[in-house]
Amino acid sequence: MKLDRILKYQNIDVGVFKEEKNLASSETAKSIKKHDDIVSQMREAVSRSDLEAGTLFARMHEIDAQIENICLHERNIMSVEPGTLEQLETLDKDLNSYNEQLQALERDVRRMLERLQEMQSEFAKHVSSANRSQEESRKLNIEYKKMKEAHFAKFQKEYTVLKTLSAEIDPQLLAAYKVRRAAKKMPVFVPYSADSGCCPACGMQIVAEVGDKLKAQGDFAKCPNCERIVYLP
């Protein structure tokens, strides 16, 4: 049958794939992901803080200019001696108003400085958390590398056979297989029975789509639902 080689390949590969999956879902792999996620969350938090600090500094710059402006006005109105009681009252009122504005700006600056201090301690926490997770991830990756090496050593024979077999398989067919394997659609090739008319993998009724294409043993077609390859055994 034209699918003999690829089916033989799949037969061996199913066992290898199962072990690869176990490896990828091992506690070690999960922990690596957890720590890597923490590192990227902390990096995001740090860059958000950077942005916020930038905004705060820009606002403080503005306030600086505003304060300077108010002081200038104050100096200007004070340089003119009030000649009448009315002028003195106006001067008093203006000075009071400038003082209030200055106090409000001062409060703003104080709040911003407090926030910056808060951010500094948050920043330190984020950095130390990121460093901890990075170190954990590094250690776990060493362990995971060993696990992978053990896996390859255990399945060395299978991998060698797969390599030999793959040279004997139509490249297009092998490529189609590998795409589905990467999408974790295993097994890729599933035997189709005209009696049921269903894809044995996903259970979808597919006789209308593939019935005409599957006439002789070894004929194959794509399941329109799960995209596996159904074949006539």
Binding residues for Zn ion (CB under 5 A): 199, 201-202, 223, 225-226
Hey, what are 151's tokens? 């896996």
For residue 221, the minimal CB distance to Zn ion (Å) is 11
DSSP-assigned letter for residue 3: T
Please check whether residue 137 is in contact with residue 32, taking contact to mean a CB–CB distance below 8 angstroms.
Answer: yes
For residue 51, the minimal CB distance to Zn ion (Å) is 48
* Residue 44 CA to its chain's centroid (Å): 11
Residue 66 or 225 having the CB closest to Zn ion: 225
Strand partners, 205: 198
For the purposes of burial, counting CB atoms within 10 Å of the CB of 160, is it exposed (0-12), middle (13-18) or buried (19 or more)? Answer: exposed
For residue 227, the minimal CB distance to Zn ion (Å) is 7
Residue 130 or 199 having the CB closest to Zn ion: 199
Cα–Cα distances (Å) from 113 to 45, 64, 116, 122, 209, in that order, read: 19, 14, 5, 14, 69
Residue 119 or 202 having the CB closest to Zn ion: 202
Give the span between the Cα atoms of 214 and 205, in whole angstroms: 14
Residue 221 or 226 having the CB closest to Zn ion: 226
Residue 218 or 224 having the CB closest to Zn ion: 224
Residue 173 or 187 having the CB closest to Zn ion: 187
Strand 189-191 with 229-231, pairing: parallel
For residue 135, the minimal CB distance to Zn ion (Å) is 45
Coil, strand, or helix at residue 40? helix
For residue 187, cis peptide bond before it (omega within 30 degrees of 0): yes
For residue 171, the minimal CB distance to Zn ion (Å) is 24
Question: Which residue type, as a one-letter code, is found at position 106?
Answer: E
For residue 21, the minimal CB distance to Zn ion (Å) is 20
For residue 204, the minimal CB distance to Zn ion (Å) is 5
Residue 126 or 180 having the CB closest to Zn ion: 180
Please check whether residue 223 is in contact with residue 216, taking contact to mean a CB–CB distance below 8 angstroms.
Answer: no
